[in-house]
Structure 1
Amino acid sequence: MKKYALNLIFVFMTTAAILLNAYSCFAKDIAFQSSVDKNRVSLGDDIILSLTFTGTQSIPAPDFTNVEGFHAKYIGPSTMVSIINGSMSASITHKYVLIPLKAGKFQVGPVTFKYGSDTYASNILTVEVVEGPVSDNRPIRTAGVPPLKFEDKIFVVMEPQRTQAYLNETIPLKIKLYVNKLPVRDIQLPQFAHDGFSTEALDRPRQYEEIRQGILYDVLEFDTVIFGTRPGISNLGPAELDCVLLEKQRRTGGIFGDDDPFDDFFGKYTAYPLHLKSNQVSMTILPLPEEGKPQNFSGAVGSFDFNLEADPKYVKAGDPVTVKMIVRGDGNLNTVTTPNIGSQDNFKVYDPQFKQEGNTKTFEQVVIPKIETVTEIPAVSFNFFDPAKKQYVTITKGPIPIKVEKSTEREGLKIVEADAISRPLVKKETLGRDIIYIKELPGNLRKKDAYLYKNKLFLLLQSILLLCFIIIVTLNKRRERLKTDIRYARRIRAPKEARNGLKESKKYLSQGKIQNFYDTIFGTLQKYLGDKFHLPSAGITANIIDEVLKNKNIDERVLDELRSIFNECDVARYAPTEVSVEKMQNTFLKLERIIDYLERQKL
């Protein structure tokens, strides 16, 4: 029973470890990138700054209002979900309007902030502000250029590294999806016509930004390698790609008219399938030259290195020796075949085995010296055509000296007597042992072991496992909701952020730092109300009480206290006067009461 219980505990611990490990695998890397829609602007114009987080949709808007040379205003988030052959990737972009205040060159970023236990830092951008109009040869499109047509906002381009190559020469190929400010999802792997070419599988796509003809695009790039299989002129492509375009349906009749700021949160989308086609590329495939072609040339094309190894070097006649031939370099390894070992008269040679890893192809061939007079593994030559040099190259390695000793094993003759063969072996019988009689009655039956499902320890362990599974599923669903539901994530985060702000303001209160205290109180209140009611935190002022909170069934006394906190913060921050410790303490307690009240209400 003790051993049985130990086995159950082992099964429980193993299963729990597997479940916890599976849950930990949900973690993903998060990339942070900043960009602007133009890097040269005139006074009176504005710039859109985008802070993009790839791999999540739960990151809140960073506090990015103090930018040298600019007045910054947060205008809201936009999210994007891409599903490529079943693999989902999500991103969120927080957008800010930057209004230049003076001329000059300014550095925007790096934006650094802490979220949870992670710290994020963006790249540095440089923006030039000029007093006059911006010239037409700038790298980024400005407001004076006509708007793009739809076919210029989303399209596919196929780009081979070169359009002329030799037979079997590898050609890197890029297929790029360009998107300009359009929400796209369900992007499928591109397909392209390649009659006369062989192609490898597409690599995992990579995402980046690119300026093309003065316009900033989001680019999804698919990479592969092709090579021509017949000489002549052939057409490659077009590449075809399917995706889904989301069109936002704006609400009408709202209190804000057509410029309703709540469209970003409550607007609906309509999905439209798109089938995109790229350009077709004419490719010229040249035949391999006949001049200088080695007699035993097998078709290898590229720039390679060759090495020869043998092990062991001390054997007896009849023992195997493994010959390893290693080809590495840049080129078409599919055309590399096993190099031939020289004279094989005194060897028994077996078929080779090969493996390919990256840009290396290794052949292993077993040879067995038949006689002790063998002194070396013959030289091996490997030849290939180098497209860069436009000539054939032959590399010879070896011979490799080995020492073969005379075999000492001898086959002895086994003499078997004919009489022994003719006489069969008879097993001696024991009376009473060769027959088992049928029992008429079963005899006395006794209980051997209890049923497993009636074992209390087993049922307890199963219950614990089921409970662990339910907890893990629940935590995972909550984590996924935090990543995809921004409103929910901000609401959950609001009380924790508020407690941190209260803790910091209490520190300033004890130190008597009036300005820092009211700045922290104001920032905490802004952040808490923004997260609680899913509003842009940077734009929250006392006006929110009448515009948003008055219709939330909040006690009028709480609203009055909110107004008084906003007024006290404004007076302390913009018209500094002496403020008593008792008044600061009163402001602190009012904010604590407001947060506690709002957390207890179902709003």
Structure 2
Amino acid sequence: MKAFRFINTLFVLVFASAWALGQHVSFKSEANRKSLAVGESLQVGFFIQAEGTDYSIDSPMKYPEHNGFRLVGENKTQHVEYVNGKGLIQDGIILIFTPEREGKLRIGSARIVIDGKAYTTKPIDIEVSKSSTSALSNRANTNQPVFLQTNVSNTNPYINEQVGLTVKMYSRDLGLLNRKRNFRQGKLEGLSPKMVTSRPETIKQEMVSGKPYFSEEIAKYNLFPQREGRIEIDPFSMDILVSGIYGTEAYEIKSNPVVINAKALPEEGKPVNFTGAVGDFKLKTSINKKELAVNESANLNVEISGKGNFNTIIVPEVNTPKNIEKYPPKKKNDFKAYEDGMQGSVSTEMVMVPEYGGDYTIAAVEFSYFDPEKEKYITLKSDAIDLSVDGLTANEVKNTTDDLDLGNHGESTQNNIKTTVSELAEDVKNGNGKWLWTAGGLIAASVLGLFLLRRKKDESNELEEVEQTVSNESKFVRKVNSLIVKESIVASAINVSTDGKRIIKSKLDTLQQNIHHPDFKTFFQLQEDLLCEIGMKYSGTDLANFSDYSVGEKLVQCGWNQELVEEWKLLLNKARQAKYSAISSSNEDLTDVYFKTEKLVNQFIK
């Protein structure tokens, strides 16, 4: 309904201008599109706009002529805006048409009488092209007294672009809406589904093919195509309890099949740091303190918020300056599937501790995503963060250590001794013999002192050399250990340890034990945990950076078969989908799911 939100705003502005000219009531029409294919839907809104509520409708709106179109539904709408303190009321009706032939068609003028005055809308010309396969397959049989209708918001999305899917039940008998049972979901292969759970359960009246129906929304999903090309969504079905000769019988109704043609994301202009995020997002960085002392911690937060596919988002890593120690970030997911799409945020919080004083700058981070509405890649860049750390800088600490060197002190003492000996020798030449013994004693004492001082200095130098050697060896050992750790981390991306495989087998055994659990959601929760464990172990990805897209890419890069990775994705998506489903599964179904999971696990751990 984005188009009609735009229409609402547009007509409020139009009416505001009309009000300035002394007009108090207007009647307008607007279509959500001017071109479509046979079988696709067209929505045309007819709106009354008035200042305040002091108007009366003398006769109902006369529907426009619509040759070549079939009227399949209608919705009422009301909108209130305040301009300069005065209320603007917009009442209207939205008619839903489907074209029956191609060519240049027209939606005629609608007519209404308000306060004794007739108002007429302008006709709207529509260009209808040849029907497409997806448009024809997406139509339901609307000639039945009760039927299911599946609608999607977009039949030509990009990979990972959000698509809304709605399943509605239509019935001419209001009582049948209370007799529905056993809703069964169609296959959603090639799609990552997120079920909308916070749906208002409301019953509406709609016109379908010129006949009145009661309608109720049965299920709503946010779908994300995972591959390019044609994706078929099988019909949804459910049972209706009807009275028969032998009592109450279950009558199955099915919705129309739906076809989606997913487009690959363009290669042109794709940023290097793009990880698959599709939607409309914002990037924000923040820190809890910009002034702190040495060895005092600060928390840096990076948040990506907006609307779109959050499962493919990887929060960018923050690079800190030298002399600032950072710890692994903690990830927080705060998004949810709403009526109009998945919205929320993904964020990471990282603890930093400065080792020396001074001024530091935390470099800006970048995040790239694809905007399907603008059909281009967008790169967001955060602001750099300046830190002021109170304490000795690294250079000041180094200079303080250098000042403790005794080398200069020994050289100064040696020069003073030489000066004293020269003065005593001159006194002896001048006949001052009484100083001879004193001079000799001083010379001997000075020589002895110089000898002891040099020895101490040599010992000090030797000690410093030993300490420096130990320090260098320690640094070397730390580097070697670091390399060993890094190598082990890289190796673990392909070669999982025995303990890791034991954990996976234990989770598989637990899954088998819960096949007959009374709550089927427990089984699928365990299955999801098991599949996530496999993805993390065999791709070398931690939980903070886990996403279906990135883990799948890493598994392929690590040498795992593409078909095996796709099967892993499919089972994981089905497990998540089943957790939120309102329909239980039979024991045979869960047994089959277990065997598929067991087969996949064995291929990984063999």
Task: Report TM bin, short chain.
Answer: 0.3 to 0.5
More helix by share: 2
With normalisation by structure 2, the TM-score equals 0.38
With normalisation by structure 1, the TM-score equals 0.38
